[in-house]
Chain A
Amino acid sequence: MKLRINGTTFRVEAHPLERLLDVLRIQCKLTGTKEGCGEGECGACTVLLDGEPVNACLVPVAHAEGRSITTIEGLGGTEGSHPLQRSFVEQGAAQCGFCTPGMLISASVIPAGARREEIRCALAGNLCRCTGYSAVYRAVELARAKRARRRAR
C-alpha cells in the first residue's frame, strides 16, 4: 500500500483495517502524532486527510490510501517554523506538549479572520488538560494577525 504523507510517498505493509495512527507511528516512524484515548475523543492524533482534520485512531489505513495526509512533521518541519508553531511557544499554548501536535493540525485549517467563537468550535475536538485553552486561542489569534499583517504589507 502506498501512502502520501507530507508530500512524500511511503510504502507500507498493513492490514486495510489497521489504524492510520499505528501505521504513521510504527511503520512510518512519524511519532509526532500522539495517542491520547484511541476512541476519537481527545484529538491528540489529529492529522489532515485531503486538508480535512480527522482522528487518525478512527481511520482505517485503507481509507487513507491515495489521499494526501499531513502530520505535524509536515506542518513546519523539524524546526517548527510555521507561524502557528511559533506563536504556540510564545503564548504558552504548549505546556506538556502532548495534545499540541493535534491541536496545531486542527488550528492550521482555521481560516484567517476567524472570530474567537469560530476558533473554539474548530478546536472543539482537541482536549488539552494543561492550558484551559485561553493561551491556545491567543496563539491562534496572534498567528492569524501576523499573517494578515504580512499580507497587508
Chain B
Amino acid sequence: MPPRPRRPRPLSVVGTSPPRLEGAAKVAGTARYVDDLEFPGLLLGRTIRSTVPRGELLGWSMGRRPRGLHVVSAADIPGRNAIALLEPDQPCLVRREIRHAAEPVLLLAHEDRDALASVAVELRERPRKAQLDVRASRSFCKEILIEKGNLSRGFARADRIVEGEYTTGHQEQLYVETQGVIAVPEKDGVTIYGSLQCPYYVQKALVELLSLPPERVRIIQVETGGGFGGKEEYPSMIAGHAALLALKSGRPVKLVYDRSEDMLATTKRHPSIVRHKTGVRRDGSLTAMQIDVLLDAGAYVTLSPVVLSRGVLHAAGPYRCEDVQILGRAAMTNTPPNGAFRGFGAPQTQFAVEVHMERIAEALGIDPLELRRRNALRPGDTTATGQRLGADCSALPCLESAVRRSRFVARRRAIEKHNAKARVSGGPLRGIGLALFFHGSGFTGAGEVKLASRAALELTPTGARILVASTEIGQGTRTILSQIVAEELGWPLSRIEVADPDTREVPDSGPTVASRTCMIVGEILRRCAQSLKRALGRMTPRQYLAKNGPLVVTEQYDRPKSMHWDDVHYRGDAYGAYGYGCDVIELEIDPVTAEVRPAEVTAVQDIGRAIHPVLAAGQIEGGTAQGIAFALAEEVVMRDGRMANAQLTNYAVPTPLDTPPMQVEILEFPYGHGPFGAKGVGEMPIDGPSPAVVNALRHAGLDIRDIPAVPERIAGLVDSMRGAAT
C-alpha cells in the first residue's frame, strides 16, 4: 500500500493564485522570445528540404550565389550525422537516403533576408516507392505486450463479445510561436538560445553531432511561446542545423521557421488504429479486454517507442478487468516522423476505449453511465499491468461530480425529446456525451529511476534561487515551483528566484514533459527546501552566508520504496500516480452543413493538489479546447507523404468562436509522494474531450469511429440520418 498522504496542514502559498512570475513582461510585450534577440553579425538561416517521400539524393545545384552565402551539407558534420535521442537513425542532414518529404538536406546562411531567399537550389532526387499506408507497413520500431490474467478464461466467462475499430488522425501542436533557435559560436564550442522544452536533450544531441564535450555545448532556453510536446525533440534538430551554420561561418545564426515550414517538417501526434474485442457479462461487468494498438511512427524512431508505451498503458482506460491483453506496435512509414504531443499516445488509446464503452452499453442495452459506474477503477483495484491503486484513485468521484454538475441525466432526457421533434422539423440535432479517463504522471515505469533527475536550491541574501532545467513554456513552471519552495520554507513567494534554464547553471532535472514537472521535480525541490531549512537552523540567509559562505543544496529523484516496475514484461507500477477526469460535452449538429458546435463542456479532474488553482484551471481549459478540436476540426491532409494543408488558412485550430464555455472543477485526492499531494495536470485534460464529443454524436444518432469528424467526412452520415427521419 502506498503511504498515507502527509497530514494536511494549513498552507499559505500553495493553493493560492499569485500573478505568474513573468506575467507582467508577457502582457507588456517586453518578454523576449528567440526571434526578438539580436547579436552582432547575426546571419539568418534557411533549410533546403527533400521533395520526395522516399528516394536517393544524387546531388544538388545552386543558381547564383550572393556574396557572403554560407552553405552546409552532411559532409560538414564534425561528429555523428544523427539526432541522438532513443535511436541514432535520424540524420541531421540527408547524405544519400531520403525517407520522408521535407527532410533537411542543405543549410544556407546569409545576413540579408532577401538575398538568402533569392538563392535557387535544385536537388537531384531519384524517387523510390514510398510506404504511406501504416496498415501495410511491416517495419515496426517497437512492439509491447501487456498481459494480465488469462484472456481465454475471460472470454469464456462473457455473455457477449463486442468488437470495434477506432482511428485518430495526425494533430499539429500549433504552438503560436514557431520553432526557432540562435546558435552563437564560442571560442571552443557553441551556445544555443532556443524556444525549447528540454535543454539537456538538445545538449546531448549536439555533443554527438559536433563531437564536443558537454561543457562546450551550452543550451539556454529563452521565453518559449508554447510547446505541447512539439518542442520536446525537434529543437535538437533545428539547434543542430543552426550550430553547424554558426561553426562553419564563425558568426551567430538565427533559424526561425515560418508557419508553413514548421507544419511541413516538424513532428505531429501519431495517427492511430485501435481495435477492441471485449467480453462482457449481461450486467455490464467486463470479463476480458483484448486491445490492439497500431501507431504510425513516420520515417524515423524519434520518441515513438515511448509514445507507444504510454498509449498501451492507458489503452484499457480507467476500468477494472482481470483478463486483459494489450498488444501495441509502432510502424514505420515514409511520412515526417511523428513525435511528442500533449497526452503522448494516451489520447489516442483512450479515445478508442471510451467510444468502445459506449458501443458495449448499446450492445447490452444498458445505460452507458451505469456501465462506467460498474467498471470504474476503485482504490485497491489493479490496472492492466497489475498496479494496485491507492486511496487517491478517484475515477468514481470524478464521474459522479461531472454527472451532477452537468445535470447529465436530465439533459440527456431533454435532448432526446428535442431530437424527436428536430428529426421531424429538420432543425439542429443535439447530443450529450461523457468520457471517463485517467493519466499517469511522470515517466513510465523505471523511466524516472533512469533519469535520476537533480534539482538544486541556492541560498541568496534574501531567500533562495531555484536551479532546475525544467522550462516555463506557458504552463506556469516558474510560478508553481516557487510556490512549492516558498511553502516548504515558510517564506513569502517574493523571496524565491528562479534561474534561467541554462545548462551551464542548472542541474539536469529531466525533460519538461510527461506531466512530471510539478509532481516529480516539484517534490525534489520540496526536499531541497527541507534540507535548506535544516541547514539554516535559526539563522537568516544573510547571517548564514556571512558565517559559512555560499550554500547550494542539491537533491536527486528518490523512488518511492513501494514502487516496482518490470520493463521486460510490462508488469507493476507503471506510474507513481494517476490523475483522473470526467468530461461531459453537449453539442449541436447543423443538419445542412454537418458542422458540429460544442455548446457546453463540463470538465472535472483530480490532480491531487492544485498548487496554483488559476494556472491549473488554465491547463484544463486549454487542454480541453485542444481535445475538442482533435475530434472535430484539426485535420492534417497528407498527400504523397506531405502535409497538403500546411498553413493556418486550412488547418483549423479553434478560434474564440469555436470554443464553448467550460465549467471546470478540480478535485484533490492527494498523492503521498507529490509535493503537498500534487499529481500531474498538463496532459490529462486532452484525453477526455475527443471520446466525449464522439459519444455525444452517437447520442444524436451518428455512428462515428474515426476522428477528426470534420463536416466533409460526416456529411454523408448526417444526410442519411435526415433521410431516415423524413
Contact = CB atoms under 8 A, between A and B. Distances in A.
Interface stretch (B27-35, B127-135, B694-702): B27-35
A111 interface: no
Interface stretch (B223-231, B635-643, B710-718): B223-231
Given A31-B32, A44-B176, A134-B662, A92 B618 contact: yes
B176 A36 contact: yes
B461 interface: no
A100 B657 CA distance: 17
Given A37-B647, A133-B625, A95 B27 contact: no
Contacts of B657: 120-121, 124
Interface of A: 25, 31-39, 41-42, 44, 71-73, 75-80, 85-86, 88-92, 94-101, 104, 116, 119-121, 123-137
B225 A97 contact: yes
Interface string B121-141: 000000000000000000000
B106 interface: no
A96 B621 contact: no
Contacts of B259: 36-39, 42
A36 B655 contact: no
A77 B30 CA distance: 9
A99 B175 CA distance: 10
Given A127-B653, A129-B175, A91 B28 contact: no
Given A38-B258, A98-B226, A133-B656, 17 more contacts: A31-B29, A34-B225, A36-B177, A37-B259, A73-B29, A76-B27, A79-B28, A80-B29, A88-B27, A94-B26, A94-B27, A97-B22, A116-B661, A124-B656, A129-B226, A132-B659, A133-B621
Contacts of A95: 226, 474-476, 618, 622
9 contacts: A31-B32, A37-B647, A41-B647, A80-B30, A124-B655, A130-B622, A132-B625, A132-B662, A135-B621
A92 B20 contact: yes
A104 B27 contact: yes
B422 interface: no
Given A41-B648, A133-B656, A134-B662, A72 B618 contact: no
B293 interface: no
A131 B115 CA distance: 39
Nearest to B620: A132
B454 to A, nearest CB: 26
Nearest to B224: A96
Interface string B36-79: 10000000000000000000000000000000000000000000
Contacts of B32: 31
Nearest to B625: A132
Contacts of A98: 33, 175-177, 225-226
Q: Which of B225, B614, B615 has the most CB of A within 10 A?
A: B225
Contact of A132 (B26, B27, B223, B622): B622
B393 interface: no
Contact of B29 (A36, A91, A101): A101
Given A97-B31, A123-B656, A131 B614 contact: no
B479 to A, nearest CB: 10
Contacts of A128: 176
B492 interface: no
* Chain B interface size range: 35 or more
A8 B36 CA distance: 21
Given A37-B647, A42-B176, A130-B226, A89 B618 contact: no
A114 B227 CA distance: 33
Contacts of B653: 127, 129
B622 A80 contact: no
B30 A78 contact: yes
Given A34-B177, A41-B648, A99-B176, A130 B656 contact: no
Q: Which of A33, A97, A126 has the most CB of B within 10 A?
A: A97
B161 to A, nearest CB: 39
Contacts of B647: 37, 39, 41
Q: Which of A33, A39, A132 has the most CB of B within 10 A?
A: A132
Nearest to A94: B26
A113 to B, nearest CB: 19
Contacts of A38: 258-259
Q: Which of A39, A116, A128 has the most CB of B within 10 A?
A: A128
B548 interface: no
A9 B654 CA distance: 38
Contacts of B35: 31, 35
B473 interface: yes
Given A94-B23, A94-B27, A98-B33, A129 B176 contact: yes
A119 B649 CA distance: 22
Contacts of B622: 95, 129-132
A41 B174 CA distance: 13
Contacts of B473: 96
A95 B178 CA distance: 16
A96 B271 CA distance: 27
B624 interface: yes
Contacts of A86: 27
A131 to B, nearest CB: 5
B20 A32 contact: no
B156 to A, nearest CB: 46
What are the 6 tightest A-B residue pairs by CB atom distance, in nearest-first order? A32-B29, A96-B474, A98-B225, A97-B26, A132-B625, A80-B28
